[in-house]
Amino acid sequence: MRWREINFDGLVGPTHNYAGLSFGNVASIGNQGEQSNPKQAALQGLAKMRWLMDRGFLQGVLPPQVRPDINSLRRLGFRGTPEVVLANAWDQAPQILSLCSSASSMWLANAATVIPSRDNRSGRCIILPANLVSNVHRSIEVAGTVELLRYVFSNSDHFQVESPLPSVAEFADEGAANHMSFALQNKPAVHMFVYGRMVEGGEAPVRYPARQTREACSALIRFSGLDESRCMQVQQNPDAIDSGVFHNDVIAVSHDGLLLCHEKAFLNQPVVMEELRKKSEGSINIVEVSERDVPLEDAVNTYLFNSQILGDRNNPIMLLPIECSRNEKVRHYIETHLGPALNLQEIGYLDLQQSMANGGGPACLRLRISLNDAEVAALQGKVLLSDELHHRLVEFVETRYPDSLTLKQLADWEFAKRMINVVQDLYELLGLPSYLLDVAQQ
Ligand SMILES: NCCC[C@H](NC(=O)CCC(=O)O)C(=O)O
């Protein structure tokens, strides 16, 4: 049976803006109030998808959500017509209006944790949507994301989409950004679940919040159908979180039988690496980048580890944010060390600056899912990109997306209505039924 890894990228929404909503995400806070360019953001995302399609990879796409989210505003006590709701929110609580207007569902790495059918007991691909309780603007994505995933992955012979964990801080879960797996020859993969804190006891960051708990990871493992002996629960280095590593995918990336990470990624890292080696019976390739080669600060500023490594394990290619090529230390490390160490066949530096300015790099924008041919054929909706669909999306974005945006515009119902229509039309373009939008809005 043929297996393929599909990257589903979130199409950036027309309300993409810089609201400074994510404390602990240094880019989000640093760019608060800057003028955004949603059109450019979406085109940059589509160019990344194109880059991978051109290299023969199957590429998926999922639509943005409706924003501003009038229903969330209503749930927070704003009443009246949408026009009045928006005007009052802008007057009385602009921060709440910005929470309800974020295009943050674009970062699909936070949508869910995915366990391929070949690794788990159920024989189905298990999808565990994240509750994203650590940030209000992200938590309001969840209902819409769950409905969308339940539609695309509705074939119950092949897929099982669970409910998110209870929406409380004790079970805070941020999805695939905190999950890695390592394929081994002739054995189920080793799955690593990464957390930032425990509900009680243990070490924790002091400056910035830890977004995922160990208790959430344990619950995910119970749902995963994985053999516990193939799982690891690993704590992020609290110092890394305090330096801006709010998700594990800012400091580590896995591909096939490879782990690329910074030497300060995990607490008690030597012990973690030893356990990983043991569980994978030596067939793993671990590349730890030293602080001397790439200081943590440079890793956070360039998103070196938020890259995508794809293709044959012995001859992979690597897609990195363009910021990596502009930092001399990082570029030097990639070209003189990483290239030969991983036998990279191609290194692509892509411009994703609009998303990067909110702390979202290449890997944040994608949810990767390993599927066999039967599972690929069971997907619902036009969510796999063809040349034609890609072309239509580019054309759509060019004609319908604004090329500059500040929060104040979103307080105007006429403008907001246009942005909502854009998302409705995108659903149609992707063959997704409009009832999904209504459900998401309840
Ligand atoms: N995986 C990358 C996620 C980035 C995302 N940024 C944001 O939500 C910033 C939005 C803003 O500040 O407008 C986050 O921090 O969860």
Which residue blocks in 168-230 are alpha helix, DSSP H?
Answer: 214-224
Q: Please tell me the least confidently modeled range out of 211-215, 355-359, 388-392, 432-436.
A: 432-436
C-alpha 28 – ligand 1 centre gap (Å): 6
- Does residue 336 surpass a pLDDT of 70? yes
Query: Does residue 247 have an active-site annotation?
Result: yes
Closest CA to 179 of 142, 139, 226: 226
Handedness of CA 95, 98, 100, 105 (dihedral sign): negative
Testing ligand 1's pocket by substitution, the residue of 358, 368, 410 carrying the most ligand atoms inside 8 A of its CB is 358
Q: Is 367 in the pocket of ligand 1 (CB under 6 A)?
A: no
Q: Which tens digit of pLDDT belongs to each residue from 150-160?
A: 999 999 999 99
78 SS3 class = coil
**Which of 188-202, 258-272, 377-391, 428-442 is least confident?**
428-442
The count of residues in the chain is 442
- Tell whether the torsion through CA atoms of 190, 196, 200 and 203 is positive or negative: positive
pLDDT in tens, 7-41: 999 999 999 999 999 999 999 999 999 999 999 99
Q: Ligand 1 centre and the CA of 313: distance in Å?
A: 31
Please choose from 21, 135, 137 the residue to mutate so as to test ligand 1's pocket, defined by most ligand atoms within 8 A of CB: 21
- Confidence bin at 439 (pLDDT 50/70/90): low
212 lines ligand 1 (CB under 6 A): no
> Does the C-beta of 360 come closer than 6 Å to ligand 1?
yes
* 64, HSE (Cβ side, Cα atoms, 13 Å): 28
Q: Which residues pair with 126 in a beta bridge?
A: 115, 160
What stretches of 217-331 adopt beta strand conformation (E)?
Answer: 231-235, 252-255, 258-262, 285-289, 308-310, 317-321
Distance CA 382, CA 358 (A): 28
Structural domains for the chain: 3-67+102-440 (3.75.10.20)
Which H or E element spans position 369? strand 366-372
The verdict on the CB of residue 10 being under 6 Å from ligand 1 is no
What does the pLDDT read at residue 407? 87
Do the beta carbons of residue 269 and residue 251 sit within 8 Å?
no
390 tagged catalytic: no
What is the C-alpha separation between 65 and 84, in angstroms, rounded?
22
Q: Is 45 in the pocket of ligand 1 (CB under 6 A)?
A: no
* pLDDT tens profile 278-301: 999 888 999 999 999 999 999 999
**Which of 298, 279, 252 minimizes the C-alpha distance to 109?**
252
Biggest CA-to-CA distance, the chain: 63
